[in-house]
Amino acid sequence: MNGLPANCTEVQRRISECLDGGEPPDEERRLKKHLDECWECSRVYEDLKSIKETAAELDAPEPPDTLWSSVRLQLVQQGLVRDRKPTLWERVFPRGFASSLKPAFVGAILALFVIGIAYYVRDSRKDLPPSTESAVLLEVQRAESHYQKAINALDAVSQKRLQSLSPELAQIFTDNLATMDYYLKECQDAARKNPDNPLVHQYLLVAYEKKAELMQTIVNSDSQ
């Protein structure tokens, strides 16, 4: 059970289409009216809008040649993608093409992956009947596992980026990552002690999301 009124559930499912301009004008007006009145939905709307805008504005510093291959290697090791024969795309574009992708872009993809997990979890929880609390917890655990994999992948990129910053700035980021880890651990402990408390799990997933966001900030920090 997600605790949202049926109308909110429907609105939150349509927000993404609304942002992409895929809703008819009448429907869009109806959604916006609801957003004016509903804090929960307007927050989801603002989050998605901000993610969309941020993704569109990302700039593109030069990556090291090995970046994409190391990210891919980690994704393969974590079972997120499989090694396979070259696709038509890969045959058309030379091998060096992938390594010319920018780290900010890689970060953005990973960030979108993380965000995708968040909305996947939300949607999964909406579809479950009220009696399946344990199924919800299972979904939360799966989401946690995906977040951890995404964070591990972002870690390699952000660590590389930290090396290109002044030691003072790198230290600030490192300190904040450490405090974020401390908070994350606190949420993990609380979730372990209160396995049936959805609010605690919600904070835990938010903690993962915030850590991924901080790593994304680090990846984009060397723009000047």
Partner 1 sequence: MHTKIFSGRRFVFWPLALVALSVQAADRIEKVFTVSKNSNLMLMNYSGMVSVKGWQNSEIKAVWVKYSQNVEIDTESGVNKVRLATHVMDKLASPERAKVDYQILVPEDAGLQIQSNLGSVLIENVRGPVNVDVVDAPVRVIGTAGYVTAKSLCSRLEISQSKGIIQTKTVSGDIVFSRLESNNVTASSTLGNIYYEGDFSRGGKYNFTTNEGFISINCPDQASVDWEAKTVKGAIESDLPIKSKAHRSVPRNSPERQSLVGTQNSGDATVQLSTFSGTIKIRRK
List interacting residues with partner 1 (CB under 8 A). Answer: 39, 43, 46, 164-169, 172-173, 175-176, 179-180, 183, 186-187, 190, 194, 197-200, 203, 206-207, 210, 214, 217, 221-224
Pick from 210, 223, 143: which is nearest to 183 by CA?
210
Query: Shortest distance, CB of residue 168 to partner 1, whole angstroms?
Result: 5
Query: Shortest distance, CB of residue 54 to partner 1, whole angstroms?
Result: 11
Q: Cα dihedral angle (121, 139, 8, 38), rounded to 10 degrees? A: -70
Q: How far is CA 82 from CA 43, 67, 86, in A?
A: 36, 18, 12
Taking the CB of residue 7, how many other CB atoms lie within 10 A of it?
Answer: 11
Q: How far is CA 164 from CA 25, 62, 137, 151, in A?
A: 48, 12, 40, 20
Query: Shortest distance, CB of residue 199 to partner 1, whole angstroms?
Result: 4
Compute the distance between CA of residue 18 and CA of residue 87 in angstroms, rounded to an integer: 34
Query: Shortest distance, CB of residue 116 to partner 1, whole angstroms?
Result: 21
11 vs 214, which CB is nearer to partner 1?
A: 214
Q: Which residue do the tokens 């040649």 mark?
A: 65
98 vs 165, which CB is nearer to partner 1?
A: 165
Alpha-helical (H) ranges within the chain are 6-19, 25-37, 39-57, 67-77, 88-92, 96-99, 103-127, 133-162, 167-193, 198-219
Query: Shortest distance, CB of residue 28 to partner 1, whole angstroms?
Result: 20
- Collapsed DSSP state (helix, strand, coil) of residue 22: coil
124 vs 198, which CB is nearer to partner 1?
A: 198
87 vs 163, which CB is nearer to partner 1?
A: 163
121 vs 204, which CB is nearer to partner 1?
A: 204
Query: Shortest distance, CB of residue 96 to partner 1, whole angstroms?
Result: 26
75 vs 143, which CB is nearer to partner 1?
A: 143
